[in-house]
Structure 1
Amino acid sequence: MSSLAMSSFVEQQIVLHQFTAKHCAQARVMLGWSREHLARQAGVAVEAIQQLEAHGEVDDETRLILAFCLEAQGLVFFPGFAPGWGMSVRRFD
């Protein structure tokens, strides 16, 4: 496996470990997004988001897509903590 492929694999495994069902719901609230809006942005079914948030069970690909979609909005995820804004994001409220 090339170092680039290994790096991508490791990154995906970290994301899968760090991004939880609770994170998904909390991130949507932080962004003011409905499940429907997240589904449109991520290109996944609303039912997949409902399944994740209710039971924590979706396939790895869907979990990665949702995590990367929310990370693209500037959020970061760590086990045991609510989502936070990344260092490179400037928020003016």
Structure 2
Amino acid sequence: MASSAMNLILERIALFQFTPTHCAQARGMLGWSVEQLSREAKVSVGDIQRFEAQQDVADEVRLALTYRFEAQGLVFFPGFAPGRGGNMRESGSVEIRGELAMVE
């Protein structure tokens, strides 16, 4: 299990790498509507719409979206469209924290 400091670093990286454009692109790749992403990530439709419109949302919302997409095997890098990673569920353990999941 990663230390608290390592978790904080990983969360900061996820927040830096995941952009509003990534969110819309990832939804498109998965064929998900805003409503479906809302159900999957357990965040409000309004939060998703605000984020994709490049308005401020809480870090917890951004992390929930990032982790939900990563659980589907997507990876995010600044300046690039989302890509398909390896099978995330088989490549590492999944830590559940509240309503968020993080691959370690």
Amino acid at match of 1:86: G
Judging by fraction of residues, say which structure has more helix: 1
The aligned residue for residue 67 of structure 2 is: 68
- How many residues are matched? 87
**What are structure 1's unaligned runs of at least 5 residues?**
none
The aligned residue for residue 41 of structure 1 is: 40
Q: Compute the TM-score of the two structures, normalised by the length of structure 2.
A: 0.80
The 3-state SS of whatever aligns with 2:22 is helix
Q: Deviations over 1:39-81 (max 9, x none)?
A: 0000010000000001242111100000000100000000000
Written as runs of structure 1 = structure 2, the 5 A alignment for 1:10-89 is 10-88=9-87
Judging by fraction of residues, say which structure has more strand: 2
Report 1 or 2 for greater relative contact order, CA contacts < 8 Å, sequence distance ≥ 6. 1
Structure-1 separation of matches of 2:12 and 2:27: 22
Structure-2 separation of matches of 1:27 and 1:76: 9
Percent of residue pairs bearing the same amino acid type: 54
Q: RMSD of the alignment, in Å?
A: 1.2
The aligned residue for residue 7 of structure 2 is: 8
Task: List structure 1 segments (4+ residues) > 2 angstroms apart after TM superposition.
Answer: none
How far apart are residue 87 of structure 1 and its match?
2.6
The 3-state SS of whatever aligns with 1:67 is helix
**What are structure 2's unaligned runs of at least 5 residues?**
89-104
